[in-house]
Structures are given as C-alpha cells and as structure tokens.
Structure 1
Amino acid sequence: MDIKVRDSNGALLAEGDTVTLIKDLKLKGSSTVLKRGTVIKNIHLTDNEDEIEGRTDKVKGLVLRTEFLKKA
C-alpha cells in the first residue's frame, strides 16, 4: 500500500521535501503562532496522507495538516 501525500495545490510531497505554510496557524497548548510563509525543511511523511511531521527553529515535533502547506 503506497500512500500519496499531496499539498494544498495537489503537488506530490516526498520524504525530505521543503514546504511553506499558506496560513497563520496557532499551536495547541502554546501561545506560539506560525506565520504564513514559514518554511519547514526536511519533512517526514506519516501513515496518514493528510498529515506530515516537521520542525521549525521555534518548535520541534510539529504535526501539520497538508491542506495548510504548499511545496517550496
């Protein structure tokens, strides 16, 4: 079973890609807000095709929905 992960524009995402946020996102359990245009490098694909794992300079271990991302 091969999962195809796509960003908000329909582009295929692969392990290690770089993505950009297309919307400001508030993080649960924190007062931190990730701004639109934030770059997330070296993503990790999960078992769920609607989610990826990544990290920024401020936050480690992020799980993000692909509907808020575009391939950089």
Structure 2
Amino acid sequence: MNSSADEEFVYDEASGEWIPASQAAANAAAASTVEVRDSVGNLLADGDSVTLIKDLKVKGANQVLKRGTVIRSIRLTGDAQEIDCRHETIKGLVLRAEFVKKG
C-alpha cells in the first residue's frame, strides 16, 4: 500500500498545483523566515555578537553608544531591519541592523 495515497493534498495557489499538505507546511515555514543582515551583508542569527559601526544616540536614555561597542547575544525580532539587544546600561535596546557589523 502506498503511503502517499493516505496523505492529504492541498491546492498551492502560487504554483497552481495540488501538493502534499506536508510540503505546503514546509513552504509556509520557509516563507515566514526573515533574513536579517548587518551593514556589510553578513547573515545574523540569535546569539551573535555585533559591533556598532557609528555613534548612536539612545532615545529616552540621554546616552550615546560609541562606535566599536560590542553587543553580545542579540535576538532577532522577526523584522528584517531590527535586532533586540541587551546592554549593561540600557534595558530593552532595539538596534537597526544597518548600524551593526557581525563579529
């Protein structure tokens, strides 16, 4: 007995074909994955360390993070341009990926 005969099929509007439900779920998961890249195009991931490439004024904190500051253990937010960071003097810091370099 063929196992694919027992599998449910769904209509994929992008391709115009009937595909297995498992393949449709995998396609949806891949589409929801957001790639976050730093200022020079390196792919960022949760837990990476980044370095600031310019001085940044922190809104609401009356503080400036200097160029060259290392931010450890970043978290991706699901937005292609923002990363969630922790710094010893600032809680809830969100930086734009264009202002950091992996490393």
Contact 1:8 1:69 in 2 (8 A): yes
Contact 2:61 2:90 in 1 (8 A): no
Unaligned runs of 5+ in 1: none
Greater relative contact order structure (CA < 8 Å, 6+ sep): 1
Larger radius of gyration: 2
Unaligned runs of 5+ in 2: 1-31
Question: Could you give the per-residue CA deviations for residues 26-56 of structure 1, whole angstroms, max 9, x where no partner exists?
Answer: 0111211000000000000002110000011
Q: Which has the larger share of helix? A: 2
- The residue aligned with 2:67 is 36
Equivalent-residue separation in structure 2 for 1:58 and 1:29 (angstroms): 13
TM-score by length of 1: 0.95
Query: Which residues of 2 match residues 1-72 of structure 1 at below 5 A?
Result: 1-72=32-103
CA drift of 1:12 comes to 0.2
Aligned length, in residue pairs:
72
Identity of aligned residues (%): 61
